[in-house]
Amino acid sequence: MLTGKFPTTIGTNTPVTQPQQPFASARTKIPTRQAIALISEHGDPAAEIGKDAAGGQNVYVRQVGEALARLGWQVDMFTRKSSPDDATIVQHTPHCRTIRLIAGPETYIPRDELFQYMPDFVDALQKFQQKEGTNYPLAHTNYWMSGWVGLELKRRQNIQLIHTYHSLGAVKYQSVSEIPAIAQTRLDVEKQLLEQAHSIVATSPQEKADLENLVSRIGNIDIIPCGTDVSTFHPISKADARKQLGIGTKEKVVLYVGRFDKRKGIETLVRATGELREKLEYSAEIDPQNLKLLIVGGSDPNEADGAERRRIEKIVTELDLHANTEFVGMVGHDRLALYYTAADVCVIPSHYEPFGLVAIEAMACGTPVVASAVGGLKFTVISEETGLLVPPHDVSKFAHAIGRILTDEVWARKMRKQASARVHQNFSWTGVAIQLSDLYRYLLAQSLIGSGLTRISSNPAALLPKLIAS
């Protein structure tokens, strides 16, 4: 339990035992849409993606939020306000908005220093509810600190709590050399969440197994994967994409997309590129000058992720890879499909990757993926069919795998088709939102009716007031 560390009001409220009219809202006399809260304390759904700490979690919350709104919910997404210049409320679509709460200084705060402001976050969220005259009957929290917020809300009001981890301390701390001071608190909260949330949404079977083996055997886990926007990421002409980006037809393009963070393993990729270039010097298959490594993501070298970028730049210099490497910077989703399509292979060399959106985005565009055999990547990438899985950190195996794809055109073409088919069939945001929506409706129905409800009911939502389709 996390007692003693926080203001005495936390966790001391009497639990609400009777359901409190979860479908009534003072804002409107006749309820139209059911309002739900998505909570993502550091992953601002309205943030620019690819910069600083903005990555997969931001994309997940925003895409899921918008897709749930299309399915008929009123979606309020809560995050921490990290700049005075940011708007307090951002309306994304008529029924989906981001609300930025004041919790701590309005500036960027590294994740490991953020937990102390979570009690303020809970208070601000409750004040927002009072002001709006609403009481969310359901909250879907993202990452352990939002999960803690969810646990506190659950103690204070009648709320169904669904949690997605995005990253699991018990796994992450196995792959990092420096364990932060907050580690034990995080592990405790992650265990409480598994045991006390009404449902845990694991994004891959690997994550479910990790939770059961490393965190606790108690808990209700549903597997609902992450998704991708298949209207943005889909196969287009490689020749056109290269033309638009000014990339020649002879170039062999190896692509990295993501944040500059040590756990992303960019060093492994740069060293693998160096090793591959050396091998190419002795083979006639590819001119080493045509080997191109494009590194997409990150912002200004002076920003929060700048230290890792500078470290990577030094390795590029050490290996004399300047002519082969380009730091593209941050690219929005509107243009990212061009990069994926133009590439011959997309590489994800992470030490640990709970899901890895980049893998399904690349595959959706028909680009084979070479990825570390870790976490969600073992679920999304099918080795030899949609790409290759390689042990993390293994520079030579990465170099070999990238080389295999670059030098076997026929096999690569086959993989392009298989990769895009896999994503389009299994990982669309709409499909993900439909599964989440069913889960929410089931939990809300259960909260009204009691635990006797059987999940196999084809449509538990039929027990609830109908949601109005948009």
Of 187 and 330, which CB lies nearer to ligand UDP in the complex structure? 330
Question: Measured from the CB atom, is 345 or 461 closer to ligand UDP?
Answer: 345
- Strand extents, DSSP E, 66-135: 74-80, 89-93, 96-101
Which residue, 101 or 358, has its beta carbon nearer to ligand UDP? Answer: 358
- ∠ CA(36), CA(41), CA(44), 5° rounding? 85
**CB nearer to ligand UDP: pick between 39 and 357:** 357
Contacts with ligand UDP by CB under 6 A: the residue count is 20
Residue in the shown chain whose Cβ atom is closest to ligand UDP = 55
257 binds ligand UDP, rule: CB under 6 A: yes
Distance CA 282, CA 399 (A): 15
Report the nearest approach of ligand UDP to the CB of residue 63 (Å): 9
Contacts of ligand UDP in 267-286 (CB under 6 A): none
Q: Listing from the earlier edge strand, what are the strands of the sheet with 387-390?
A: 325-329, 291-296, 252-257, 345-348, 369-372, 387-390
Is 357 a binder of ligand UDP (CB under 6 A)?
A: yes
Out of 153, 254, 270, 296, the residue judged to bind ligand UDP by CB under 6 A = 296
Residue spans of beta strands (DSSP E) within 226-275 = 252-257
Specify the residue, 291 or 358, whose C-beta has the smaller distance to ligand UDP. Answer: 358
Nearest to 467 by CA among 73, 46, 38, 56: 73
Question: Does residue 309 belong to the site contacting ligand UDP (CB under 6 A)?
Answer: no
Distances, alpha carbon 414 to alpha carbons 101, 348, 420, in Å: 48, 20, 10
Closer CB to ligand UDP, residue 57 or residue 446? 57
State in angstroms the smallest separation of the CB of 24 from ligand UDP: 37
Residue written as token pair 């069919």: 385
117 or 355: whose CB is closer to ligand UDP?
355
Residue 95: closest CA among 131, 60, 67: 67
C-beta of 165: minimal distance to ligand UDP in Å? 12
Site for ligand UDP in 51-70 (CB under 6 A): 55-57, 59
Binding positions for ligand UDP, 21-50, rule CB under 6 A:
49-50
Cβ proximity of 298 and 287 under 8 Å: no
Q: How far apart are CA 316 and CA 303, in angstroms?
A: 20
| Nearest distance from C-beta of residue 332 to ligand UDP, angstroms | 6
- CA–CA distance, 291 with 279 (Å, rounded to integer): 12
Nearest distance, CB of residue 339 and ligand UDP, angstroms: 9
213 CB contacts (<8 Å, ≥6 apart)?
Answer: none
265 is an interface residue for ligand UDP by CB under 6 A: no
**Pairing, β 96-101 against β 89-93:** antiparallel
Q: Where in 162-191 is the site for ligand UDP (CB under 6 A)?
A: none
Q: How far is the CB of 198 from ligand UDP (least distance, A)?
A: 25
Residue 165 neighbours by CB under 8 Å, 6+ apart: 143, 144, 147, 190, 193, 200, 202, 207, 211, 354
The first and second tokens of residue 110, run together, are: 């590294």
The CA distance from 346 to 366, in Å, is: 10
Which of the 8 DSSP states describes residue 212? I
DSSP state of 223: E
358 touches ligand UDP by CB under 6 A: yes
Contact predicate 401/347, CB 8 Å: no
Of 65-73, 354-362, 428-436, 457-465, the window that binds ligand UDP (rule: CB under 6 A) is 354-362
CB of 89 to ligand UDP, least distance (A): 23
Q: 73, 65 in Cβ contact below 8 A?
A: no
Quick note: the x/- pattern for ligand UDP over 316-335, rule CB under 6 A, is --------------xx-x--
Q: Quote the least distance from Cβ 151 to ligand UDP, whole Å.
A: 23
Sign of CA dihedral 191, 196, 200, 205: positive
Taken as a whole, the chain contains a residue count of 470
Nearer to ligand UDP, 148 or 429 (CB): 429
Report the DSSP beta bridge partners of residue 160: 138
Question: What is the CA angle 185-187-193, rounded to 5?
Answer: 100
Q: Of the two residues 56 and 392, which places its CB atom closer to ligand UDP in the complex?
A: 56
- Residue 221 CA to residue 61 CA, distance in Å, equals 19
Choice from 258, 274, 368, 375 touching ligand UDP (CB under 6 A): 258
**Does residue 297 touch ligand UDP according to CB under 6 A?**
yes
Stretch that binds ligand UDP, among 351-359, 395-403, 425-433, 443-451 (CB under 6 A): 351-359
Q: Which is nearer to ligand UDP, 148 or 340 (CB)?
A: 340
Tell me which of 73, 117, 355, 379 binds ligand UDP, using CB under 6 A. 355
Q: Which is nearer to ligand UDP, 51 or 441 (CB)?
A: 51
361 contributes a contact to ligand UDP by CB under 6 A: yes
Binding of ligand UDP at residue 392 (CB under 6 A)?
no
Residues that bind ligand UDP (CB under 6 A): 49-50, 55-57, 59, 257-259, 296-297, 330-331, 333, 336, 355-358, 361
